[in-house]
């Protein structure tokens, strides 16, 4: 737009009133504010509120927490930056001498690789989603003893006091594996009663009860305070009806009560993952016995038990108005849909995700709800289209009802499909929602031997490109074809999505079984060629996608998928495949900035393990490996490399449409 001026008078931006500059900074994503703040004092001043709006603390022990808080206090003390802090995120675990025998306390929280989380790419800089999704924890961990509580109180008190110094705090994201400390909750209630509390490790531990001691104790008072907190806004929880020791968990009943009774009046977002803890003898016995109903938080004044069945729930006087409902895990989709439709008004939902097995009836129920305009606020949908019971339902029978459900919904902004969805479902998605979609993730199951019709080829990508003009974020499974023109055409067509910023491609490296002319050895050879994805190839794929001028393309994630049945034909295949089938993230920093690549999915130790694993195969110089990659380096394991993409793509436009940028291809086709 211009060039740096050597003017003596202020640049146009610096002539703007400061409140306008502030307003511009509100539109700039946080990651870009750091660049902006280094431009000039004025920009630095304007960017300051955004730069200090989020604080993230990783919790390990009380000494580290105190040190971190001291450092933050020093930083925020300059120019009274405390007032800018709006969101505080705490992740990790506090060392706890009283809980040393708890396995989860010993190994600490399992924090997933952030690359698994597409939300971490978002502009939002919103830590809530990424932190809410990324922590594994034990929902049935032991209830705190009084000594334990005192120790926790002492460790967390400085943090509670720190919260009191943040006048603008609006959100606290709690992602530590143990219960929210009482002093933190009190500080929130006292200093920030209108703030929003997001708990990604929500569980009421005291509602785990031995089957022979049911209803003998009230809920822990601190947990009661949490469950009824006026700040509680967002919950992620894992639910198990019984734990591995066959103890009852009344968490689902309690959650239903919290949602329906309004005792946590601001609760709007619920993510519930149902797990089955195993099949110990005691657990099997517990499952066979009739389940005792929950009698409420307090023995003295039992709540009317929030029902667990749709028949009972229909009598409930009022439904909650959740905005997010994510149901996942081992449960039956139909049961989930029917029960939660009675507990919360689906008309208020902006985001609904159902990631569990479904039946035809479940999809018909959803379609019926949608047809009655009961999903009228919905913007984001996630759905697994896989049978709950494979004996009763075939995947193909779900295709039509899933498409009817999608057709009945209002235009969506984000759609994620998992499982074994078929052609009709994808067609319905593009037809009904294509014009409005900003995010489309098609994640078909990869456990099938055959390529199916949800594999993305140039034609499917072309349909997406033509019917989803607003798409910014896409995830697709793309079949590799040894880098041939058809494969390149897929990448180039993706690049023609005018707003595409984020793309994740699951590269299907299998050689098709449907080709009878392909023998086992040839199939292994083709698969290895497909799997060989090094930095050079990853960069080339990124280049193909981001070829158009002014493309907003920012980040490409490449993952590989292959077929292990091929192992019968080549025992070494698995080890080779793990060694060369690498995943990458390509990031472009700014439109003219360089592209950085990072290998993901394997750390150094895993990489070393895979290298060592290959030692069992002695290099003979006659096997498929050496046929593909003749020995050049001292160590044959380093000989492999990718094969270049074809410099031509097959026609990516409409049949017969001339492509200005591919004259050579047209020449080839005409010959």
Shortest distance in whole angstroms from residue 236 CB to another protein: 16
Binding mask 150-189 for another protein (x = CB under 8 A): -----------------xx-x-------------------
Burial of 599 (0-12, 13-18, 19+ CB in 10 A): middle
Query: Which parts of 402-441 interact with another protein (CB under 8 A)?
Result: 413
d(CA 99, CA 101): 5
d(CA 403, CA 410): 13
Query: Which parts of 13-42 interact with another protein (CB under 8 A)?
Result: 13-17, 19-20, 22-32, 34-36, 38-41
Instruction: Please list, in sequence order, all residues whose beta carbon lies within 8 angstroms of the beta carbon of residue 410, skipping any fewer than 6 positions away.
Output: 375, 376, 378
Binding mask 64-93 for another protein (x = CB under 8 A): -------------------xx-x-------
Query: Which parts of 93-152 interact with another protein (CB under 8 A)?
Result: 114-115, 120-126
Shortest distance in whole angstroms from residue 386 CB to another protein: 27
Shortest distance in whole angstroms from residue 166 CB to another protein: 10
Query: Which parts of 501-530 interact with another protein (CB under 8 A)?
Result: none
Determine which residue in the list 48, 195, 234, 562 makes contact with another protein, applying CB under 8 A. Answer: 48
Angle at 375 between CA 348 and CA 383, to 5 degrees: 110
- Are 232 and 193 in contact by the 8 Å Cβ rule? The answer is no
Nearer to another protein, 82 or 629 (CB): 82
Shortest distance in whole angstroms from residue 280 CB to another protein: 39
53 forms part of the interface with another protein (CB under 8 A): yes
d(CA 313, CA 336): 13
379 forms part of the interface with another protein (CB under 8 A): yes
* H/E stretch holding 431: helix 423-433
* DSSP states of 588-623: E-SSSSPEEEEEES--HHHHHHHHHHGGGS---SSS
Number of C-beta neighbours around residue 257 at 10 A? 23
d(CA 107, CA 539): 37
555 forms part of the interface with another protein (CB under 8 A): yes
Determine which residue in the list 148, 499, 543, 602 makes contact with another protein, applying CB under 8 A. Answer: 499
Shortest distance in whole angstroms from residue 31 CB to another protein: 3
Instruction: Please list, in sequence order, all residues whose beta carbon lies within 8 angstroms of the beta carbon of residue 660, skipping any fewer than 6 positions away.
Output: none
Nearer to another protein, 82 or 239 (CB): 82
Segment interacting with another protein (CB under 8 A) among 178-186, 206-214, 364-372, 587-595 = 587-595
- Are 238 and 194 in contact by the 8 Å Cβ rule? The answer is no
3-class DSSP state for residue 305?
coil
- Are 246 and 213 in contact by the 8 Å Cβ rule? The answer is no
Determine which residue in the list 161, 190, 596, 603 makes contact with another protein, applying CB under 8 A. Answer: 596
Binding site for another protein (CB under 8 A): 1-6, 11-17, 19-20, 22-32, 34-36, 38-41, 43, 48-50, 53, 83-84, 86, 114-115, 120-126, 167-168, 170, 350, 379-380, 413, 470, 499, 554-555, 585, 587, 589-593, 596
């Amino acid at each position: 737009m211009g060039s740096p001026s050597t003017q003596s008078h202020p640049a146009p931006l610096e002539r703007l009133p400061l409140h306008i500059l502030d307003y511009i900074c509100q539109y700039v994503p946080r990651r870009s504010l750091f660049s902006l703040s280094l431009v000039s004092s004025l920009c630095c001043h304007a960017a300051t509120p955004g730069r200090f709006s989020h604080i993230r603390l990783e919790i390990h022990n009380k000494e580290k927490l105190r040190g971190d808080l001291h450092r933050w206090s020093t930083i925020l003390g300059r120019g009274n930056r405390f007032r800018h802090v709006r969101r505080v995120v705490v992740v990790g675990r506090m060392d706890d001498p009283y809980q040393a025998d708890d396995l989860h306390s010993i190994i600490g929280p399992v924090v997933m690789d952030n690359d698994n989380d597409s939300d971490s790419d978002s502009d939002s800089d919103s830590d809530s989603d990424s932190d809410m999704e990324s922590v594994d924890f034990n929902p049935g961990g032991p209830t705190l003893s009084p000594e334990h509580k005192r120790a926790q109180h002492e460790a967390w008190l400085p943090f509670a006091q720190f919260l009191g110094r943040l006048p603008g705090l609006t959100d606290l994201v709690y992602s530590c594996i143990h219960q929210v400390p009482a002093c933190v909750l009190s500080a929130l209630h006292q200093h920030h009663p209108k703030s929003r509390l997001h708990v990604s490790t929500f569980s009421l531990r005291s509602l785990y009860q031995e089957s022979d001691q049911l209803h003998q104790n009230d809920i822990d008072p601190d947990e009661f305070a949490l469950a009824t907190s006026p700040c509680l806004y967002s919950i992620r929880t894992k639910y198990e009806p019984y734990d591995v020791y066959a103890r009852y968990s009344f968490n689902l009943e309690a959650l239903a009560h919290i949602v329906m009774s309004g005792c946590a009046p601001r609760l709007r977002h619920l993510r519930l993952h149902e797990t089955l803890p195993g099949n110990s003898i005691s657990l099997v016995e517990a499952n066979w016995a009739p389940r005792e109903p929950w009698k409420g938080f307090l023995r003295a004044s039992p709540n009317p038990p929030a029902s667990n069945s749709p028949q009972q729930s229909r009598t409930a006087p009022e439904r909650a108005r959740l905005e997010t409902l994510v149901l996942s895990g081992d449960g039956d989709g139909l049961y989930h849909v029917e029960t939660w439709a009675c507990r919360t008004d689906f008309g208020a939902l902006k985001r609904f995700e159902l990631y569990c097995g479904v039946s035809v009836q479940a999809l018909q129920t959803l379609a019926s709800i949608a047809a009655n305009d009961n999903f009228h606020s919905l913007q984001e949908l996630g759905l697994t289209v896989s049978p709950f019971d494979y004996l009763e339902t075939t995947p193909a029978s779900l295709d039509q009802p899933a498409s009817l459900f999608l057709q009945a919904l209002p235009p969506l902004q984000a759609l994620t499909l998992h499982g074994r969805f078929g052609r009709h479902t994808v067609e319905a998605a593009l037809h009904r929602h294509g014009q409005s979609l900003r995010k489309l993730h098609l994640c078909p199951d990869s456990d099938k031997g055959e390529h199916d019709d949800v594999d993305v080829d140039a034609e499917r990508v072309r349909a997406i490109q033509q019917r989803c003009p607003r798409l910014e974020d896409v995830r697709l499974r793309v079949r590799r074809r040894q880098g041939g023109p058809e494969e390149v055409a897929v990448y180039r067509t993706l690049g023609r999505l005018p707003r595409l910023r984020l793309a994740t491609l699951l590269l299907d490296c299998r050689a098709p079984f449907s080709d009878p002319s392909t023998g086992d050895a040839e199939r292994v050879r083709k698969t290895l060629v497909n799997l060989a994805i090094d930095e050079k190839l990853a960069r080339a794929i990124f280049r193909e996608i981001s070829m158009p001028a002014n493309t907003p393309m920012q980040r490409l994630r490449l993952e590989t998928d292959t077929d292990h049945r091929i192992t019968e034909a080549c025992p070494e295949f698995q080890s080779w495949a793990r060694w060369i089938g690498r995943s990458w993230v390509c990031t472009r920093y700014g439109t003219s900035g360089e592209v950085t690549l990072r290998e993901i999915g394997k750390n150094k130790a895993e990489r070393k393990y895979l290298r060592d694993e290959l030692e069992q195969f002695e290099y003979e110089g006659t096997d498929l490996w050496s046929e593909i990659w003749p020995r050049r380096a001292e160590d044959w394991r380093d000989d492999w490399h990718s094969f270049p993409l074809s410099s031509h793509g097959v026609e990516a436009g409409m049949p017969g449409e001339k492509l200005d940028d591919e004259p050579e291809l047209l020449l080839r086709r005409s010959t």
